[in-house]
Amino acid sequence: MVELHLLTRTNKDFSTSAALCFTETWLSKAIPDRALHLPGFQLFRANHITELTGKTRGGGTCFYINENWCTDVTTLKRMCCPNLEALFINCKPFYSPQEFSSFILVSVYISPNVSLNTALQQLADQITDMEQQYPDSVIIILGDFNKANLTRELPKYKQHITCPTRDRNILDHCYTTIKDAYRSVPRASLGLSDHCLIHLLPTYREKLKSAKPVVRTVKRWTNEAELELQACFDCTDWSVSEAAATDLDELTDTVTSYISFCEDMCIPTRTYLTFNNNKPWFTAELRQLRKAEDDANRVGG
């Protein structure tokens, strides 16, 4: 714990990180939260339980969540069984890309001496369940997988850690469904750990910035515009078109072109931008309410 305090005090990369994830912590109920307190961070832990795992040593996972990034954090699930230990938390930060309603962080520890297929299947079932419960959230899965590979069970999840984490092996993984979400940078190990620390740098660009807005034009069918269009049709001599046409197809093209011309003349249009991260349910009324809330927060109302 002393090493962790020194790390966050002397290393800006970790002191400003949104979340710190630790696996195989060896934490048990005999160790109180106050002994693990880290200033500026909230602790969320899943203890190693000998009775459930059948092992007297190892295991345990935890998250430290930076209070400058998020204070609205909910523990969704703790798992502790012979093949798998995991902690699921749901974070709703002060700011996040509009396309994500929250971040579900999953800390995983899979021992090297267990049934990997069983462990991966159990984890995949839980991830699938979370996807169904929180369809608009992004799920980030982190931890010590040893020889396991989650992409066997969930092919749409991408592994973002590309540097060795223990000797020449990549035993610690980070998975999301977002391509190129992070760039991994190795750091010195913490204390007596035989795994090096990994600093994950976000490279994801939110849809608002990565995709150009689409310009759309719509007609405004007001009562006044409809009356003006009707008046235009009433004063039209339709027999001129009938006399000039040689067959039904030509008459149809002439009449529809004339109707479109009248619409363009009589019906006003409105041009607006549609951004790629806009939700169909996020109406103009909701935008006004959100703007009023942001203004109130800025002035401390």
Could you tell me the pTM of the whole model? 0.70
106, β-bridge pairs: 88, 141
- For residue 297, what is the enclosing H or E element? helix 284-298
- For residue 258, what is the enclosing H or E element? helix 248-266
Residue whose tokens read 């699930």: 77
Tens-digit pLDDT profile for residues 49-81: 877 777 767 788 999 999 999 999 999 999 988
73, β-bridge pairs: 91
288, β-bridge pairs: none
Nearest 5°: the CA angle 165, 170, 171 is 85
CA distance 276 to 208: 6
CA distance 117 to 84: 11
Residue range(s) of every CATH 3.60.10.10 domain in the chain: 2-204
Residue 61: phi and psi, rounded to 5, are -140, 160
Structure tokens at 233: 């049709």
Residues in the chain predicted with pLDDT less than 70, given as ranges, are 1-11, 56, 206-211, 275-282, 300-301
Residue type, 102: S
If one looks up domain 2-204 in CATH, what number appears?
Answer: 3.60.10.10
- 147's CB contacts (< 8 A; 6+ apart) are 112, 116, 171
Structure tokens at 221: 């069918």
